[in-house]
Amino acid sequence: MGIKLTLLIVFFAVMVAVGLYSRKHATSVDGFVLGGRSVGPWLTAFAYGTSYFSAVVFVGYAGQFGWKYGLSSTWIGIGNALIGSLLAWVVLGRRTKVMSQHLKSKTMPDFFGERYSSKALKIAASAIVFIFLVPYTASIYNGLSRLFGMAFNIPYTYCVIAMAVFTGIYVILGGYMATAINDFIQGIIMLIGIVAVIAAVLSGQGGFLEAIRKMAELPSDVPVTLGQPGAFTSFFGPDPLNLLGVVILTSLGTWGLPQMIGKFYAIKDEKAINTGTVISTLFACVVAGGSYFLGGFGRLFDGSAIYDEGGNVVFDSIVPHMLSTLPDILIGVVVVLVLSASMSTLASLVLTSSSTLTLDFLKDNVMKNVSEKKQVRTMQVLIVFFIAVSVVIALDPPTFIAQLMGISWGALAGAFLAPFLYGLYWRGVTKAAVWASFAAGVGITVSNMFLHYIASPINAGAIAMVAGLVVVPIVSILTPKLKKEHIDEIFTCYEEKVTITKKRSLEAN
């Protein structure tokens, strides 16, 4: 217990110290929200990765999908690395940096407002962010409850409050720069922790090959496999179609999430984007690939601890049960690992929510001619508000808390992915098409919560994203275009920037 508590105390002390160190970067709106748009590639890449992978992934998703799909759940981690990280940086990184800087947009709703010349779109987008990021924020705590119960016998309430307080302190003190530096530290912990845990868990099963042999002997409970053994070690697992839905939502979904895209706004320059692409992809390979790979062995730890009173599997209990037999030092590392994943994601979410509500909704609508200092103060107050709301929800969670991440990702990415992606590359996107995408993304996700016409919220989210990618070009073709002068000015700026960059590169060579 002493070792585990010492690790926790050191961890929290470092987080607060970073917040105090970063205070000088948080005096202006640009500094508080984007770190002055001067954050280097290592900090940005780790901030992207740690915002991507939270306790929901390590504890909830790894346990749930590892149990359902066996070792083929590793494809989810591979998809996260190749689609959610590598392709996201290649396709979105450079254009987002240049275009958002030219439009002077600090948030994704701000981008929609400037890119499509519509204040109404900006306000609607900020409302969607607020509504769907708050429940996602609450779901972050869910992965911690059973893990802390296993490691410390500390009541879940104390754990949630402590995590919320320390996250709030360093975000309020240092803004984006504090979250970026802490994300880097937390990312290192996650990399070391996931490797150590996988090695320890497999060692307890007699090594990698022995664990594979045991998995291969397990009969599948998926009807299509007719109960035959070997399904959980097969290449695409017992249910490839639903596995694909998970890959799409958890990988392509990042392209439309405001807390992820915001990292490209803040990065220092285009050269840093190239470096960040490699770092972010490797980070995702280890952390996401490792988490789902570990979860894939969950059925080897079948026991009463993972079932509820009705005999149903409690997916959030699988990974903590797998880790319960580890040595104290490794359990301490795991607790800090999951805390790192959770606090980094929580910090990114509350900063995104507060900045969006302040800059895109309150400013110029409720707060007229407000100074930069007052805008920063308003964001700091709202950070406290968002954390408090998320704690209230997390302490008395609704029955579908485990599905909140899928619902939030589906609504946000379904609404934003298509108009943001097309808006970066295609001059022909119209306001009506953006409204249609907002309606489709939110409509499909929310209606499915009540009508359940799509069996899984995960698949509903994936369908919402694909629907937006289809709806936006069709509606754009059929509806009035934006003013040519406005569009030409935006895209000419980007093309000139690319030409200048290429010229400098040739001169340097």
Give the tens place of pLDDT for each residue, 167-192: 889 889 888 888 888 889 888 988 98
Looking at residue 48, what is its pLDDT? 92
Higher pLDDT: 134 or 424? It is 424
- Measured over the CA atoms of residue 396, residue 399, residue 402 and residue 405, the dihedral's sign is negative
- Let me know how many helices (H) and strands (E) the chain has, helices first: 22, 0
Least confident of 14-28, 199-213, 216-230, 433-447: 216-230
Q: Which of the four pLDDT bands, split at 50, 70 and 90, describes residue 1?
A: low
Cβ neighbours around 349 below 10 Å, total = 27
Least confident of 53-57, 180-184, 279-283: 53-57
d(CA 356, CA 262): 11
- Give me 242's structure tokens: 């639903």
Higher pLDDT: 149 or 462? It is 462
Looking at residue 144, what is its pLDDT? 64
Cβ-contact 262, 107 below 8 angstroms: yes
Cβ-contact 243, 237 below 8 angstroms: yes
Cβ-contact 85, 52 below 8 angstroms: yes
d(CA 128, CA 435): 12
For the chain, percent of residues with pLDDT exceeding 70: 91
What is the distance of C-alpha 495 from the center of its chain?
31
Least confident of 225-229, 231-235, 417-421, 440-444: 225-229
Looking at residue 141, what is its pLDDT? 74
Interacting residues of 306 by C-beta distance below 8 A, sequence separation 6+: 313, 314, 317, 318, 321
pTM (2 d.p.):
0.87
Looking at residue 509, what is its pLDDT? 52
Looking at residue 403, what is its pLDDT? 65
Give the tens place of pLDDT for each residue, 473-483: 999 999 999 99
Which of 47-61, 265-279, 316-330 reaches the highest mean pLDDT?
265-279
Looking at residue 399, what is its pLDDT? 47
Higher pLDDT: 448 or 407? It is 448
Q: Which of the four pLDDT bands, split at 50, 70 and 90, describes residue 426?
A: very high
Looking at residue 225, what is its pLDDT? 54
CA–CA distances in Å: residue 239 to residues 77, 78, 180, 235, 243: 17, 17, 38, 11, 6
Cβ-contact 51, 263 below 8 angstroms: yes
Residue type, 245: G
Q: Which of the four pLDDT bands, split at 50, 70 and 90, describes residue 500?
A: low
- Give me 109's structure tokens: 């709703």
Residue 317: half-sphere exposure toward Cβ, Cα within 13 Å: 11
d(CA 354, CA 196): 36
**Average of per-residue pLDDT across 189-202:** 88
Give the tens place of pLDDT for each residue, 466-475: 999 999 999 9
Residue 432: pLDDT above 90?
Answer: yes
SS3 at position 313: strand
Looking at residue 230, what is its pLDDT? 80
Which of 240-244, 380-384, 417-421 reaches the highest mean pLDDT?
417-421
**Average of per-residue pLDDT across 280-303:** 91
Looking at residue 401, what is its pLDDT? 47
**Average of per-residue pLDDT across 28-35:** 85
SS3 at position 39: strand
Closest CA to 261 of 108, 412, 367, 98: 108
Residue 34: pLDDT above 80?
Answer: yes
Kindly write down the DSSP assignment for every residue of 263-292, as one continuous string. Answer: HHHHBS-HHHHHHHHHHHHHHHHHHHHHHH
Segment (H or E) for 12: helix 2-21
Residue 239: pLDDT above 60?
Answer: yes
Q: Which of the four pLDDT bands, split at 50, 70 and 90, describes residue 289?
A: very high
Closest CA to 421 of 252, 247, 217: 252
Looking at residue 135, what is its pLDDT? 73
Least confident of 140-149, 186-195, 244-253, 371-380: 140-149
Residue type, 77: G
Q: ∠ CA(376), CA(270), CA(247), 5° rounding?
A: 85
Interacting residues of 162 by C-beta distance below 8 A, sequence separation 6+: 12
* Angle subtended by helix axes 404-425 and 457-478, to nearest 10: 30
Please provide the average confidence, as pLDDT, over all residues in the chain.
Answer: 84
Residue 115: pLDDT above 70?
Answer: yes
SS3 at position 36: helix
d(CA 261, CA 268): 14
Residue 502: pLDDT above 70?
Answer: no
Q: Long-range CB contacts (< 8 A, 24+ apart) of 298-304? A: 298/63, 298/66, 298/67, 298/322, 299/67, 299/70, 299/215, 299/218, 299/232, 300/205, 300/211, 300/214, 300/215
Residue 348: pLDDT above 80?
Answer: yes
Looking at residue 222, what is its pLDDT? 60
Interacting residues of 286 by C-beta distance below 8 A, sequence separation 6+: 191, 194, 195
Residue recorded with tokens 């900006």 = 122
Give the ranges where 369-430 is alpha helix by DSSP (H): 372-395, 404-425
Residue 257: pLDDT above 50?
Answer: yes
Cβ burial of 222 (10 Å; 0-12, 13-18, 19+) is middle
d(CA 344, CA 360): 24
d(CA 438, CA 418): 9
Instruction: Give strand pairing partners of 363.
Output: 367
Residue 54: pLDDT above 60?
Answer: yes
Looking at residue 427, what is its pLDDT? 92
Give the tens place of pLDDT for each residue, 484-494: 888 988 888 76
Q: Long-range CB contacts (< 8 A, 24+ apart) of 217-225? A: 218/299
Residue 157: pLDDT above 90?
Answer: no
Residue 231: pLDDT above 50?
Answer: yes
